[in-house]
Amino acid sequence: MAITLSIGIGKDEKPFFSTSTSSKISTIREGKGKSILAFPEKYVVIDIETTGLSPDYDEIIEISAIRYEGKLEKSKYVSFVKPSFEIDEYITELTGITNEMLIGAPSIEQCIKEFKEFVGDDLLVGYNINFDINFLYDNLLACYGEAFGNDFVDVMRIARRTLPELPHHRQIDIADYYKIEVYTEHRAEADCRVCKACFDELKEDVERRNLDIFSRPHGGIRAKDISTEKTDFNTEHPLFGKVCVFTGTLEKMKRKEAMQIVADLGGFPGDGVTKKTNYLVLGNNDYCKAIKDGKSAKQKKAEKLILDGADLQIISEQVFYDMITEMI
């Protein structure tokens, strides 16, 4: 069933360019929140409209924040922001916001304070959200000397991992892929709702296809890239001839090194859990606490295969290290 919402061109495709290399505020934003990969149940979707791409020289002209619990909207904050100068025709054409609409709008000092009070310390969700975060961080710091430290989820980042086959991952591209019908009106609140719709679709897609999009990149290494020059193996080693897959972040070595050890012992490193997998090694999964049941897709699949009778064991990182030192 198609969803009809309004959407703008989106900040992920605004044709603004800043040629200045100077900066009013350090680009090293101390205390800035972290970008995480998660599908939380409680969060605030945010979006801003601006007069350009540079937080140093451009201004916020609209802020929107909508608080959700699951799919239920709980509250919202939406406001125009009065800029220091009139906006030009190009910005009006791009955003649909006119100078007349900004007459009597509150100042950035008032809006940024109200916005921060509204979001509190909540987790934020947005499309190409780092753009919004940088503007909000710099304005909050300039107005009140306070760092904007909320952690955030970038829906574009999730879209790229979920739909790598798409040529583009703008918000409008993801909306089109999931048949979310949109208009071309470009406003902060409308973009928040489109972002939310895309976020929900992506979550359902990941769960439906049992995708593991939460594992951190490990230098792009794949099992096919691992080989060994060894020809003399201890055939009694517990990893000899076994397929070993990793999930999460290993604490004692890089995943590439662990995969190489498996190969050097006569085993076979794997990328995904299949019926042929013999061991799934659990690394640190702290980064995916917001995942349902606190388990990665690989672990969930392994558990299902075990229940179906597969010759597969789920082991801790420490057990793996104990195994690789056996009989060496």
Any idea how long the chain is? 328
With CA atoms as reference, report the closest residue to 264 among 301, 237, 295, 296. 237
Query: In the sheet that 243-247 helps form, which strands lie side by side, from edge to edge?
Result: 268-270, 243-247, 279-282, 313-316
Measured CA to CA, the distance from residue 299 to residue 316 in angstroms comes to 12
**What residues contact 84, with CB distance under 8 A and at least 6 apart?**
59
Is 218 annotated in the active site? Answer: no
Please report, as a single letter, which amino acid is at residue 285: N
Catalytic residue among 168, 186, 218, 237: 186
Burial tier of 289 (Cβ tally within 10 Å: 0-12, 13-18, 19+): exposed
Tokens coding 232? 């003399």
Residue 211 φ/ψ, nearest 5 degrees = -85, 145
Distance CA 47, CA 62 (A): 8
Say how far apart CA 123 and CA 120 lie, in whole Å. 9
Annotated catalytic residues are 186
